[in-house]
Amino acid sequence: MKIPRLSIITLGVADLQKATAFYSQVLGTPPNTSYGGVTFIQLPGVWISLYPLAELAKDIGPDVSAQRSGFSGVTLAHNARSAEDVRAVLAQAAAAGAKILKPAQDTFWGGYSGYFADLDGHVWEIAWGPGFSFSEHGDLQFSESANDA
């Protein structure tokens, strides 16, 4: 058996066009909208898909509600290459209409991070950490110094 891999994160959205424009602006990646009714955003290691929330709930089954209520206990994370990049991404998200939940600041674990909620309330952490680096393909990995600790 091959090792399982996270390949797509689907976000249920209230307005597909607005969510597509938001993520295009925040991530700076051209969205793929050629599959009518769903948007795909290709990122290193994992894609994000945007799908109408009511349709997503309907696809999952009759026991799933399309009603949102409060924090779900799930966050998405973007690891940046520097503290400056954390601030820049948060500013970009705010300019696109995100709500900044926690401004960028030093963390208890030695990094730097902040949080925002997208147009549909999906929570993102934007973080930089000294124990992480990136592969030549942009995939997150533990840095050499973190492995020696």
Domain assignments of the chain as residue spans, ordered by start? 1-60, 74-149
Domain 74-149 homologous superfamily, CATH:
2,3-Dihydroxybiphenyl 1,2-Dioxygenase, domain 1 (3.10.180.10)
Do the first three CATH levels of 1-60 and 74-149 match, i.e. the same topology?
Answer: yes
pTM as predicted = 0.88
Domain 1-60 homologous superfamily, CATH:
2,3-Dihydroxybiphenyl 1,2-Dioxygenase, domain 1 (3.10.180.10)
Task: Report residue 64 as tokens.
Answer: 């799933």
Q: Which residues are CB-contacts of 126 (< 8 A; sequence separation ≥ 6)?
A: 77, 78, 80, 86, 89, 90, 93, 104, 113, 114, 115, 116
Q: Tens place of pLDDT for every residue, the chain, 149 residues?
A: 788 888 999 999 999 999 999 999 999 999 999 999 999 999 988 999 999 999 999 999 988 888 888 888 899 999 999 999 999 999 999 999 999 999 999 999 999 999 999 999 999 999 999 999 988 888 888 987 554 44
